[in-house]
Amino acid sequence: MSNGKTLKKFISISFQISPSYFFLLVFQSIMETGQILVNVILPKYLVDELVGGRDKANLIRFGLYIVLANVAFLFFNKTMKRFMDVRNIYMKEKLNQAMADKIMKVEFACLEDPYYLDLKERAVFACRTMSALENLIGSVARVLKNAVTIISLLVVMFTLSPVFVLILVLTISISIIAQKLFSKYQLEIYQELIPINRRYGYYVGLAFEGKYQKDIRVYNMNRMLTDRVLDYSRQIYDWFKGFTKKQGLFQGFVGVINDLQAAIAYGYVGIRVISDKFGGKIGIGSFTMYVSAAISFTTSATDLGKNIMTVIQMLGYLQPFMEFMSLPDEAKREGSVPFEGAVESLRFENVSFHYPKSENYVLKGISFEIKKGEKISIVGLNGAGKSTIVKLLCRLYKPASGTIYINGRDIYEYEFSSYMKCLAAVFQDYKLFAFSILENIKGGEASEEDSIQRQRVENLLEQVGLKEKIAELKKGVDTLFGKQYDPEGIEMSGGQSQKVAIARALYKEASLIILDEPTSALDPLAEAEIYEHFNQLVGDKTAIYISHRMSSSVFCDKILVLDGGIIADFDSHKKLMEKEEGMYYKLFKSQAANYQV
Ligand SMILES: Nc1ncnc2c1ncn2[C@@H]1O[C@H](COP(=O)(O)OP(=O)(O)OP(=O)(O)O)[C@@H](O)[C@H]1O
């Protein structure tokens, strides 16, 4: 994405967030320029009066104008600055929020694709580490201010001599070109720093994060981590050493050019006071005004150059952010038919699938059908494609070919949010959040009254065997999950957390429930209890269980046996156990053997 496109995208996102923001920036720039102009123009009259008529009343009048104008502008500009500082923070927060929203809306496949994951990382690096959004907003505001000031000062200086303006513009161009070259170098060299910084951040992060400490200690990783961190920090140090050396040279050069500009300004305007060689003589008051205009012009033009370079630089950093923000939203949210009623039938018809950027088909022409209320178990070896079936059903990925039908309609024809209401899933890598237990379980389903929600949550917690545990808690279901943000929060064991996740799926009142390894963390008693009650818990819902514990298949109506992405069998436990050569029989028997003493 080019800088122009990145800037356009930034402005369009900012406009969506706050349409008034850019108008306020322009207004602020005009008012700040006003203060500069007042101090360039008004002193001329005071000085002229001082060296001319020396009329007391006039002197007081001009002095008063200068003081009053300065006080007024100062008051206004300070107030405006405070207001804009708050507004800038608001904009920055909103832009960060826009990124978080995007991550939640973007096609799920992007979040498992290394290219987009890297893009997201770089976008986060630009926003967090480089504060690129803040810097861009700030420098765009300063560019506007500089531009308005320069145009106004040019008008003032033109009244003296266009040639004078031309000479100043020429010298300033030299420092702007130098700045451009330096910024290009800076951007290029920063690109070299990004991967080093990312790796450094990762290893330092490991040392900071509590969740890695067990493995770090048990496997004595401290030394390896410290060495890695030291290695990267040495590289960062070397990088900065080289960079600051070049920066010093550049700043020295720009300083010389600036002094040269000041000398030209003083020299030329001074000559105009004492000689009429380049035009009519001017008074001391005008001398003050033009010199001051030239100095302000030089400062503003140098600032403009610097700020434009910062804008370009920040756009460079923000390029991944804008590219990420331009990614299409979940394309798979296509479909407009509202999903109504319950899942009456579910049919996979010749479904094949491979993950993006991989040519290996994970599912190969899968066809099977499930009727309302049936309980199905999917079994197979690691990597057979079991969880992939769940992802396809949840519309996280779309089949490469073939169709998944629910109630006789392609699932992609359904409007996304109504479709999502018909199913609930406990993923293998399910996540619970730092909300209360109640909030974790009821999620976004808030259509009922609070007391009814509570009652349902408490009933479900009892059914999954967490009643006693919750009763021990001072705040009951209002206890925060995890101690990260509340010392009174609860740290649950893997099995207890899994029970909460099961309760969350059951709370959703979806007619299709999918449980991917639902009991992997449960102790044998809890597992037996959950399985005993599963049919009661799930009720008349259609259910799909994925489990490596073969005993869980026994209570299912049918078992789908997956072998390398192909359906090896689809039948009841009883029938499958009759096929002694079949995969199911072998899996079942080999696991059962482990339980014999
Ligand atoms: N995001 C992904 N990108 C690329 N390949 C993937 C991705 N997720 C899974 N795979 C691959 O797809 C195949 C099927 O994975 P899947 O998770 O569906 O298997 P599974 O039967 O659920 O395995 P397990 O029993 O180990 O949970 C595996 O070979 C896996 O490496």
Which residue's alpha carbon is at the smallest distance from atom 29 of ligand 1?
383
The whole-angstrom separation of Cα 152 and Cα 336 is: 56
What is the token pair recorded at 386? 């079991």
The whole-angstrom separation of Cα 553 and Cα 530 is: 13
Ligand 1 contact, 383 CB (< 6 A)? yes
The whole-angstrom separation of Cα 11 and Cα 262 is: 36
- Answer whether CATH 3.40.50.1820 is correct for domain 3-325: no
Ligand 1 center–CA 139 separation, angstroms: 47
Ligand 1 center–CA 362 separation, angstroms: 7
Residue 394: name the closest of 550, 512, 548 by CA: 512
**Residues 393 and 378 sit within 8 Å (Cβ to Cβ):** no
The whole-angstrom separation of Cα 384 and Cα 321 is: 36
Which residue's alpha carbon is at the smallest distance from atom 30 of ligand 1?
383
**Residues 518 and 427 sit within 8 Å (Cβ to Cβ):** no
253-284 burial code (b ≥16 CB/10 A, e <16): ebeebbeebeebbeebbeebeeeeeeeeebee
Which residue's alpha carbon is at the smallest distance from atom 4 of ligand 1?
355
Ligand 1 center–CA 431 separation, angstroms: 18
Ligand 1 center–CA 407 separation, angstroms: 27
**Residues 322 and 1 sit within 8 Å (Cβ to Cβ):** yes
Instruction: Calculate ∠ Cα 514-519-521, nearest 5°.
Output: 135
Ligand 1 center–CA 427 separation, angstroms: 13
Per-residue pLDDT of the chain (597 residues; tens, 9 = 90+): 677 778 887 788 878 888 888 788 878 888 888 888 888 888 888 888 887 877 888 888 888 999 999 999 999 989 988 888 888 888 888 888 888 888 888 888 888 787 888 788 888 877 777 778 778 888 888 888 888 888 888 888 888 888 888 888 888 788 778 877 887 887 788 778 877 887 888 888 887 777 788 788 888 888 888 899 999 999 999 988 988 999 899 889 888 888 888 888 888 888 888 888 887 888 888 888 888 888 888 888 878 888 888 888 788 888 888 888 888 777 556 788 999 989 999 999 999 999 987 889 999 999 999 999 999 999 998 889 999 999 999 998 999 999 999 999 999 999 988 898 899 988 888 888 889 999 999 877 666 677 788 888 999 999 888 888 888 888 888 999 887 777 888 888 888 888 899 899 988 888 999 988 866 666 777 676 666 666 777 888 899 988 887 877 888 899 999 998 999 999 999 999 998 888 888 888 877 666 555
Domain 331-422+514-524+539-597: give its CATH architecture: 3-Layer(aba) Sandwich (3.40)
Residue 290: name the closest of 566, 47, 553 by CA: 47
Ligand 1 contact, 561 CB (< 6 A)? no
Under DSSP, is residue 516 helix (H, G, I), strand (E, B) or coil?
strand
Residue 405: how many CB atoms within 10 A of its CB? 15
CB neighbour class for 238 (10 Å; exposed up to 12, middle 13-18, buried from 19): exposed
Ligand 1 contact, 386 CB (< 6 A)? yes
Ligand 1 contact, 385 CB (< 6 A)? yes
Ligand 1 contact, 95 CB (< 6 A)? no
ipTM of the complex: 0.96
Under DSSP, is residue 531 helix (H, G, I), strand (E, B) or coil?
helix
What is the token pair recorded at 337? 């038919």
Q: In what order do the strands lie in the sheet with 401-406?
A: 361-371, 345-354, 401-406, 409-410
Instruction: Calculate ∠ Cα 377-382-386, nearest 5°.
Output: 40
Ligand 1 center–CA 425 separation, angstroms: 17
pLDDT of residue 532: 66
What is the token pair recorded at 69? 């104008």
Ligand 1 contact, 360 CB (< 6 A)? no
Q: Name the residue ranges covered by the structural domains of the chain.
A: 3-325, 331-422+514-524+539-597, 430-509
Ligand 1 center–CA 65 separation, angstroms: 77
Q: In what order do the strands lie in the sheet with 375-380?
A: 423-426, 512-516, 542-546, 375-380, 558-563, 566-571
Question: Of the residues 386, 561, 567, 583, which should be mutated to test ligand 1's pocket, given the most ligand atoms within 8 Å of the CB?
Answer: 386
pLDDT of residue 409: 94
| Mode of pairing for the β-strands spanning 566-571 and 558-563 | antiparallel
Which residue's alpha carbon is at the smallest distance from atom 6 of ligand 1?
355
The whole-angstrom separation of Cα 22 and Cα 150 is: 19
Per the confidence metrics, is the pTM higher than 0.80? no
Domain 430-509: give its CATH architecture: 3-Layer(aba) Sandwich (3.40)
The whole-angstrom separation of Cα 454 and Cα 456 is: 5
**DSSP secondary structure of 244-256:** HHHHHHHHHHHHH
Ligand 1 center–CA 511 separation, angstroms: 26
Ligand 1 center–CA 576 separation, angstroms: 25
Question: Of the residues 110, 117, 355, 552, which should be mutated to test ligand 1's pocket, given the most ligand atoms within 8 Å of the CB?
Answer: 355
Phi, psi dihedrals of residue 251, rounded to the nearest 5°: -65, -35
Ligand 1 contact, 541 CB (< 6 A)? no
The whole-angstrom separation of Cα 318 and Cα 469 is: 48
Crossing angle of the two packed helices 56-105 and 21-51, in degrees rounded to 10 = 160
Ligand 1 center–CA 388 separation, angstroms: 6
Ligand 1 contact, 316 CB (< 6 A)? no
Bridge partners, 425 (sequence order): 514
Sort residue 275 into left (φ over 0), alpha (ψ -120 to 50) or beta.
beta
Ligand 1 contact, 108 CB (< 6 A)? no
Closest ligand 1 atom, residue 112 Cα = 1
Phi, psi dihedrals of residue 562, rounded to the nearest 5°: -100, 135
Distances in whole angstroms, Cα of residue 269 to Cα of each of 48, 79, 172, 274, 436: 16, 36, 18, 9, 73
Which residue's alpha carbon is at the smallest distance from atom 7 of ligand 1?
355
Ligand 1 center–CA 561 separation, angstroms: 16
The whole-angstrom separation of Cα 506 and Cα 519 is: 15
CATH topology agreement for domains 331-422+514-524+539-597 and 430-509: yes
Residue 450: how many CB atoms within 10 A of its CB? 10
Ligand 1 center–CA 389 separation, angstroms: 10
The whole-angstrom separation of Cα 58 and Cα 64 is: 10
pLDDT of residue 257: 85
pLDDT of residue 486: 79
| Mode of pairing for the β-strands spanning 512-516 and 345-354 | unpaired
What is the token pair recorded at 292? 């001051």
Helices (H) and strands (E) in the chain, counts: 18, 10
The whole-angstrom separation of Cα 149 and Cα 236 is: 39
Which residue's alpha carbon is at the smallest distance from atom 28 of ligand 1?
383
Residue 537: name the closest of 496, 573, 572, 509 by CA: 509
Question: Of the residues 351, 359, 362, which should be mutated to test ligand 1's pocket, given the most ligand atoms within 8 Å of the CB?
Answer: 362
Ligand 1 center–CA 168 separation, angstroms: 66
The whole-angstrom separation of Cα 422 and Cα 419 is: 6
The whole-angstrom separation of Cα 481 and Cα 19 is: 39
Residue 355: name the closest of 325, 327, 394, 396 by CA: 396
The whole-angstrom separation of Cα 71 and Cα 67 is: 6
**What is the 3 state secondary structure string of 62-107?**
HHHHHHHHHHHHHHHHHHHHHHHHHHHHHHHHHHHHHHHHHHHHEC
The whole-angstrom separation of Cα 597 and Cα 588 is: 16
